[in-house]
């Protein structure tokens, strides 16, 4: 089985969490991301590496295209120079580091978002099998924090982010041959957060707080509709 083999420059780094006052580079990166991600950075939930990735992806989602001119070895601290495949490699590195709990889960939602933007509506190829498998395992019902106390803390502080992560992951999993992981991911959020996810106009308000564009919105709404239809049939 082939795999995505891009080597990320983050492989030898440790996550660095900025303290106030933020330096100019961090402020410049944060100027590109949503107010919600800004709040998470101010709360100490996001590393500098993640902030740079979010700045890059915010630019990509706003333009609808991936920048392809930057070399693979472009430093992660240079937003706009790394394309989607390189960003996936960066996120896979961050996901195994000692990050905050929400940043760890955010890595997988962002990987899902990148895969959807890269593959569009085509079936995801074998080279992304490992990344796709990690999505299903981490965001399925067995991948959340084992501690009920940690789960409660995440749900209280980051409920909207958890919803975005699950929907973004499900969007990518929907391009795979198997729908079981996608169903598990969406079923979890529909069950846990029904007050925010039972109607599309409610969930749309949540998703718009993070990474969002018209292409993603159309795809995610389709995933949500299929999940709610399955839930209604089961009763």
| Tens-digit pLDDT profile for residues 158-175 | 999 999 998 998 888 888
What pLDDT, on the 0 to 100 scale, is given for residue 222?
Answer: 92
- pLDDT reading at 206 higher than 70: yes
Band (pLDDT 50/70/90 cuts) for residue 9 is: low
Band (pLDDT 50/70/90 cuts) for residue 155 is: confident
- Decide if 26 is inside a domain: yes
What is d(CA 92, CA 111) in angstroms, rounded to the nearest whole number?
Answer: 8
- Decide if 64 is inside a domain: yes
- Decide if 1 is inside a domain: no
> How many structural domains comprise the chain?
1
- pLDDT reading at 141 higher than 70: no
CA distances from 115 to 8, 36, 42, 88 (A): 17, 22, 28, 8
The pLDDT tens digits of the residues spanning 42-64 come to: 999 999 999 999 999 999 998 86
Lowest mean pLDDT segment, chosen from 21-25, 97-101, 140-144:
140-144
- Decide if 56 is inside a domain: yes
What pLDDT, on the 0 to 100 scale, is given for residue 46?
Answer: 97
Band (pLDDT 50/70/90 cuts) for residue 72 is: very low
Give me the chain's average pLDDT, please.
81
What is d(CA 182, CA 127) in angstroms, rounded to the nearest whole number?
Answer: 19
Q: Which domain holds residue 42?
A: 9-234
- Decide if 91 is inside a domain: yes
Please tell me which residue, 199 or 124, carries the higher pLDDT value: 199
Q: In the chain, what percentage of residues exceed pLDDT 70? A: 78
- Decide if 128 is inside a domain: yes
Mean pLDDT of 124-143: 69
Under 8 Å between Cβ of 118 and 66? yes
Under 8 Å between Cβ of 118 and 64? no
- Decide if 59 is inside a domain: yes
CA distances from 128 to 81, 90, 110, 125 (A): 22, 14, 14, 6
């Amino acid at each position: 089985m082939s795999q995505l083999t891009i080597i990320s420059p983050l492989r030898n780094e440790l996550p660095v969490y900025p303290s106030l006052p933020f330096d100019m580079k961090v402020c410049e990166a944060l100027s590109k991301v949503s107010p919600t991600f800004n709040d998470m950075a101010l709360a100490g939930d996001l590393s500098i590496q993640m902030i740079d990735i979010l700045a890059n992806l915010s630019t990509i989602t706003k333009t609808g295209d991936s920048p392809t001119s930057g070399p693979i070895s472009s430093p992660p601290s240079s937003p706009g120079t790394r394309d989607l495949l390189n960003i996936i490699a960066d996120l896979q590195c961050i996901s195994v580091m000692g990050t905050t709990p929400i940043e760890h889960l955010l890595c997988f939602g962002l990987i899902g978002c990148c895969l959807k933007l890269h593959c569009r509506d085509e079936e995801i190829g074998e080279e992304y099998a490992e990344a796709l498998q990690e999505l299903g395992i981490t965001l399925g019902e067995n991948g959340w924090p084992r501690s009920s106390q940690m789960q409660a803390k995440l749900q209280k502080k980051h409920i909207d982010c958890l919803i975005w992560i699950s929907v973004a992951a499900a969007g990518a999993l929907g391009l795979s041959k198997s729908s079981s992981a996608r169903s598990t991911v969406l079923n979890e959020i529909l069950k846990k957060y029904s007050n925010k996810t039972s109607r599309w106009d409610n969930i749309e308000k949540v998703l718009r707080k993070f990474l969002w564009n018209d292409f993603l919105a159309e795809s995610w709404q389709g995933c949500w509709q299929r999940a709610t239809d399955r839930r209604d049939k089961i009763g």
